[in-house]
Amino acid sequence: MDKIYVTGMEFWGYHGVYPEENKLGQRFRVDVILETDLKQAGKTDELDDTVNYAKVYTVCKEIVEGKPYKLIEAVAENLASELLKEFSTVLYCTVKVVKPDPPIPGHYKSVAVEIKRGRT
């Protein structure tokens, strides 16, 4: 299966368990891998035959900057679900959500979750 990588997207969101996270917000990073057949796009060189990266970014932005979730697991799940719904040619979607400098005890550069979802 061919893969499209859209990585390093950054958004400002209000996700977290603690009230200050929901009030102050913070930066989140998102990486997406979309598995699809790119043969036709390679032959035709037409945007309509592939996944539009700008639309991928827009879907991710709307979710991460939209409704607050307690867990980044929920953010990732909603991202994967919406991307699979938006792009019918995508068979599998891997989503990684990174929360830099989380406000939890200890010294962490970041925490992250990565999920892979596909069509049933």
14-59 confidence digits (pLDDT tens): 999 999 999 999 999 999 999 999 999 999 999 999 999 999 999 9
Q: What is the mean pLDDT of the chain?
A: 96
Provide the CATH topology of domain 2-118: GTP Cyclohydrolase I, domain 2 (3.30.1130)
99 is catalytic: yes
Give me the pLDDT at residue 108, please.
81
* Mean per-residue pLDDT, 101-119: 89
Q: Which of 39, 61, 99, 116 is an active site residue?
A: 99
* pLDDT exceeds cutoff 80 at 98: yes
pTM of the complete model: 0.94
Any long-range contacts for 39-44 (C-beta under 8 Å, 24+ apart)?
39/2
